[in-house]
A and B are shown apart, each in its own frame.
Chain A
Amino acid sequence: MKDSMGSALDTPPSVPTPTPFTPETPQVFTLENGIDVWLLPRPALPLISIRIIFAGGAASDPPHQFGLTTLTDEMMLHGAGQRDATAFADVTERHAIDIGMVTAASSTVLYADTHRQHLPLTLSLLSDVVHRPLFTVDDLNRVRALQMADILQELDTPAALAPWVSAKLYFGEDHPYAHPEAGIPSGLSAITPDDLRASWKKRFTTSRAHIVVVGDCTEAHLKTVLNDALAELPVGTPAPPIPVPRGVSNGPRLVFVDNPDATQSTLRVTMPGWSAHHPQRLAGELAVMALGGTFTSRLNQCMREEKGYTYGASATSSSGATFGVVATSATVEQEATAEGLTDMATILQGAVDFTAEELSKVLSASRTSQIATMEGRARTAGMLVRTSRQQLPPDAAVKRLQQEQNITVENINTAWRPLADLSQALVVIVGDSSAVKADVEQALPGTWELLSGPKKWLLSEQE
């Protein structure tokens, strides 16, 4: 038995040709008020996901009121129309309708996940939210306290500290992406109901809106109910484009953030990426994936699998409509901070020799990822929301798969080459400075800035 089983297992099976796959493309129509709708019907289960994207997210926060957009969005769910906060929660939860807001830097997404039979009620509630939020003082005080508590808890997490510090330094304090979407307590404390109303009126308009729906409904029915639900939205003015960040030049810029007593250090390198419309975007994203987007990527193989000093290392690329950002990160044991930094820098600097094998691997991973985005309403809706935010066409997923087939090894090496010298990089280490800073300075020579008391600095406003 062992012999016959052994022979069956001794040779890897051959892998056949992939089954053809083309992502679904949404149906497109326009409401009477001019809002474009992308609909992907999914009749298999009686569930519907609705996403209303309003451009101009936390980046709209005025100076000294960081967090206003997030607070306004959350407050719109605490009482609307004839229902106060309690009644609104009661009706949504009793019918298992999940209504919420996701406030990102560039947009707000008002979402609803509902059973098909509750679509009319869901649209009625969404209509109240966008047209008739209550904004009472009592609710404001309570929701503000919760938002402030979230911010304080976020500060306790070393892994959250690194991206927060990096954003403030990389974008520059005057950039709308420099502060977290939730804001800072000093900005939140003085906000009044009038401020909330002003933020709501400015952003919840037809000129900023776009709708994505995935689920068990038809275009004809959806058009009717959406026309009714959103009839009163004003036209407003389009959201201004997000400015390109200041970034780093003649770098790398090296910053050590002191986190006394931490048993590990978090390493984060932030660099410019590619906007959604940049001709090198897809090649750049594949290069980033080869660096840190899969388990066998260069960073993870070296820092986790070969060296074992981290639970994981990764690289990500985010592409907005006007610019993109690349970030690599790893949390390493304290004694390996300098070694981890050296390894990460060496890998990033040497990433101009990607191979055909690596390209093939990340192309396959990208295809699998795109298949996965077509599964489940919420995941597909999320993909379409990202496409909308990036101001790409509804068939972007189809085009992406086609375009990726033409990308060469030279394309991905060329895309990464301008970043390889790290001259545009912000390097942030969050760790115990008394234990590791000296070693770090030797590992990557240069002028290291020391940020002591980072929490106080993060919670301060620009001058």
Chain B
Amino acid sequence: MSTALLEIPHEVYTLSNGLTVILHADHTLPQVVVNVRYNVGSRHERAGRSGFAHLFEHLMFMGTERVPGSSFDDHMEAHGGWNNAWTAEDATNYTNVGPSHLVEMLLWLEADRMDGLARSMTQEKLDKQREVVRNERRQTVEDAPYGRAWNALPELGFPCGHPYAHSVIGSHEDLVAATVADVRDFFTTWYVPNNAILTVGGDIDCAAVRACIERFFGGISSRKLPERAVPSPPTRTTPKQASFFDHVQLPMSVLTWHTPPAYANGDATFDVLAAVLSDGRSSRLYSHLIHDTAMALEAQADQHSLALSSQFYIELTPSDGVKNELVEQQTFSVLKDVATHGPRADELERVRNQLEIGFLQRLESLQSRTGSLSHYQAMLGSPASLNRDLQRYRSVTSEDVQAAATALQASTALTVRVYPTTHKDNPANTETLRGNAS
């Protein structure tokens, strides 16, 4: 499939306070997206404050001196705008969407909270959002099938003290321990213009938006960012296993390995390997485990790319009566075959075609385009990196994939198994996963 050079038209510049600004004009529809990405995530949390970056994200909507109470959302929704946010290991992102005539309002709201959120932080605001976050945790971790096991993976997978050795949502204990002083300190340290990327896309007049951004954001002071220690890449030289019992109908196994950081050499290769293994019904794991042998009901591989060190996952759901260990063993046979013989030419063609059409599809939505520009600026230092990113995948060879598969040995894997509580090995005196939340 031929995909011409892809590009997202944009201009990029930096304010005197260090705020990176990206503008992307597209007059197809009368809408606008204002995206603010702060380069702070769960990996920047200090010990005893797991989950704080995400809790802080919630607090960003709790109002300021100029925009008190729920006024942030009131101003936005009064004119058809809406917003959302996410927190991950490496970054926190705020997206505001609305009709194009709302662009100044969206910029003002973001500038206002970048300027002064901490000044109006109170115990009451913290307490309210802490409870919301703890309910989010109950809903997505404690009461979600397999939720506790997935939540435990960072701690099991990374060495103690590593910035990724805890989940983004954090623990109840640490969430309860958070104080208003922590909020102010976190804001002062990380929520500064020189640690942020502002991306504005849509039906905009770039000159007018530039002036507006200078007016609203230009006076916000920059501050020196703390040194960010870069830990050595984690390695695992012996296999590690953990088992959980949960209120689920079907067992599950998750195999994980440490893999190269996002955009480092080899990162794209593991994406391609994941696709060879499990993207579609013609993939290796689906063909062998689900179609040919009916040993598994689900088999999914994924390269979870992170700035410091990525994780490669293979998630397996054994068929009724099939032991987890057997499906894992068969998975290693499939990996060995890829490592020995490499992917076939038609497999690489399939993966490349699917990746290329995925790149095209990402150009369709304004939110996706602004998100991509911001992401590339943060990860690669330039928003104009779409083709460079695509080229990473185009250049992956069969030998590269062989090498990646070779690296995924049983001896370096973390294996996490989840069994239904009714499983015969569930010790009668073991607390099961659900119901012991603090």
Which of B203, B221, B364, B432 sits near A376, CB closer than 8 Å?
Answer: B364
CB proximity to B under 8 Å, residues A51-96: 85-86, 89-90, 92-96
CB of B216 within 8 Å of the partner chain: yes
CB-CB under 8 A from A12, the residues of chain B are 66, 75, 105, 108
CB-CB under 8 A from B134, the residues of chain A are 333
Contacts A5-B220, A261-B434; is A47 near B31 (CB within 8 Å)? no
CB-CB under 8 A from A263, the residues of chain B are 138, 142-143, 434-435, 437
CB of A156 within 8 Å of the partner chain: yes
CB of A198 within 8 Å of the partner chain: no
Contact of B139 with A146 in the complex, beta carbons under 8 Å: no
CB of B97 within 8 Å of the partner chain: yes
Contact of B77 with A294 in the complex, beta carbons under 8 Å: yes
A461 to chain B, nearest CB (A): 19
Which of B31, B79, B203, B248 sits near A156, CB closer than 8 Å?
Answer: B248
Contact of B127 with A308 in the complex, beta carbons under 8 Å: yes
Which of B78, B127, B281, B354 sits near A361, CB closer than 8 Å?
Answer: B78
CB-CB under 8 A from A367, the residues of chain B are 80, 99
Contacts A5-B219, A142-B290, A264-B139; is A309 near B131 (CB within 8 Å)? yes
CB of B173 within 8 Å of the partner chain: no
CB of B82 within 8 Å of the partner chain: yes
Binds A, one of B34-42, B355-363, B385-393, B422-430: B355-363
Contacts A149-B250, A304-B132, A361-B78; is A94 near B143 (CB within 8 Å)? no
CB proximity to B under 8 Å, residues A244-298: 261-264, 294-296
CB-CB under 8 A from A377, the residues of chain B are 364
CB of A124 within 8 Å of the partner chain: no
Write the B328-345 contact mask toward A (1 if CB under 8 angstroms, else 0): 000000000000000000
Contact of B29 with A374 in the complex, beta carbons under 8 Å: yes
CB of B236 within 8 Å of the partner chain: no
CB-CB under 8 A from B189, the residues of chain A are none
Contact of B79 with A15 in the complex, beta carbons under 8 Å: yes
CB-CB under 8 A from A360, the residues of chain B are 78
Contact of B111 with A9 in the complex, beta carbons under 8 Å: yes
CB of A145 within 8 Å of the partner chain: yes
CB of B260 within 8 Å of the partner chain: no
CB proximity to B under 8 Å, residues A4-59: 4-6, 8-10, 12-13, 15-21, 44-47
Contact of B98 with A368 in the complex, beta carbons under 8 Å: yes
CB proximity to A under 8 Å, residues B231-255: 247-250
Measured in the bound complex, the distance between the Cα atoms of B248 and A158 in whole Å is 11
CB nearest neighbor in B for A308: B131
CB-CB under 8 A from A142, the residues of chain B are 290-291, 294
CB of B70 within 8 Å of the partner chain: yes
Measured in the bound complex, the distance between the Cα atoms of B401 and A39 in whole Å is 42
CB of A392 within 8 Å of the partner chain: no
A15 to chain B, nearest CB (A): 5
CB of B227 within 8 Å of the partner chain: no
CB-CB under 8 A from B30, the residues of chain A are 18-21, 371
Contacts A90-B282, A264-B143, A364-B80; is A371 near B99 (CB within 8 Å)? yes
CB of B155 within 8 Å of the partner chain: no
Measured in the bound complex, the distance between the Cα atoms of B353 and A118 in whole Å is 12
Contacts A9-B66, A262-B434; is A372 near B31 (CB within 8 Å)? yes
Q: Give the number of chain A interface residues (Cβ < 8 Å).
A: 77
CB of A462 within 8 Å of the partner chain: no
CB of A331 within 8 Å of the partner chain: yes
CB-CB under 8 A from B349, the residues of chain A are 94
CB of B300 within 8 Å of the partner chain: no
Measured in the bound complex, the distance between the Cα atoms of B354 and A95 in whole Å is 8
Contact of A149 with B317 in the complex, beta carbons under 8 Å: yes
Contact of B73 with A296 in the complex, beta carbons under 8 Å: yes
Measured in the bound complex, the distance between the Cα atoms of B295 and A145 in whole Å is 11
Measured in the bound complex, the distance between the Cα atoms of B356 and A118 in whole Å is 14
CB-CB under 8 A from A5, the residues of chain B are 115, 218-220
Contact of A9 with B357 in the complex, beta carbons under 8 Å: no
CB-CB under 8 A from A102, the residues of chain B are none
Measured in the bound complex, the distance between the Cα atoms of B287 and A2 in whole Å is 64
Which of A145, A159, A311 sits near B294, CB closer than 8 Å?
Answer: A145
Contact of B366 with A375 in the complex, beta carbons under 8 Å: yes
Contact of A159 with B105 in the complex, beta carbons under 8 Å: no
CB nearest neighbor in B for A376: B364
Contact of A2 with B282 in the complex, beta carbons under 8 Å: no
CB-CB under 8 A from B437, the residues of chain A are 263
B202 to chain A, nearest CB (A): 10
A151 to chain B, nearest CB (A): 9
CB-CB under 8 A from B139, the residues of chain A are 159, 264, 311, 331
CB of B144 within 8 Å of the partner chain: yes
B298 to chain A, nearest CB (A): 8
A435 to chain B, nearest CB (A): 10
CB of B145 within 8 Å of the partner chain: yes
CB-CB under 8 A from A94, the residues of chain B are 282, 346, 349-350, 353
B15 to chain A, nearest CB (A): 12
Contact of A368 with B135 in the complex, beta carbons under 8 Å: no
B399 to chain A, nearest CB (A): 21
Contact of A145 with B297 in the complex, beta carbons under 8 Å: yes
Measured in the bound complex, the distance between the Cα atoms of B175 and A375 in whole Å is 39
B433 to chain A, nearest CB (A): 10
Which of B2, B105, B143, B317 sits near A15, CB closer than 8 Å?
Answer: B105
CB-CB under 8 A from B294, the residues of chain A are 142, 145
Contacts A5-B219, A375-B29; is A19 near B75 (CB within 8 Å)? no
Contact of B291 with A333 in the complex, beta carbons under 8 Å: no
Contact of A146 with B138 in the complex, beta carbons under 8 Å: no
Measured in the bound complex, the distance between the Cα atoms of B74 and A296 in whole Å is 7
Measured in the bound complex, the distance between the Cα atoms of B283 and A96 in whole Å is 13
Measured in the bound complex, the distance between the Cα atoms of B221 and A6 in whole Å is 12
CB of B129 within 8 Å of the partner chain: yes
B222 to chain A, nearest CB (A): 11
Measured in the bound complex, the distance between the Cα atoms of B215 and A10 in whole Å is 12
Contact of B1 with A311 in the complex, beta carbons under 8 Å: no
Measured in the bound complex, the distance between the Cα atoms of B128 and A156 in whole Å is 29
Contact of B249 with A156 in the complex, beta carbons under 8 Å: yes
Contact of B131 with A9 in the complex, beta carbons under 8 Å: no
CB-CB under 8 A from A376, the residues of chain B are 364-365
Contacts A296-B73, A368-B81; is A155 near B249 (CB within 8 Å)? yes
CB of A451 within 8 Å of the partner chain: no
CB of B209 within 8 Å of the partner chain: no
Contact of A1 with B219 in the complex, beta carbons under 8 Å: yes
9 tightest Cβ-Cβ pairs between the two chains A and B:
A5-B219, A364-B80, A308-B131, A89-B281, A19-B30, A156-B145, A261-B435, A368-B80, A152-B249
Q: List 12 A-B contacts (CB under 8 A).
A: A4-B219, A5-B219, A8-B215, A10-B66, A93-B354, A145-B297, A156-B248, A261-B435, A295-B82, A311-B135, A368-B97, A379-B365
Other A-B contacts than A149-B298, A306-B128, 10 sampled, CB-CB below 8 A, are A16-B101, A47-B361, A153-B248, A263-B434, A305-B128, A311-B140, A333-B135, A360-B78, A365-B80, A374-B29
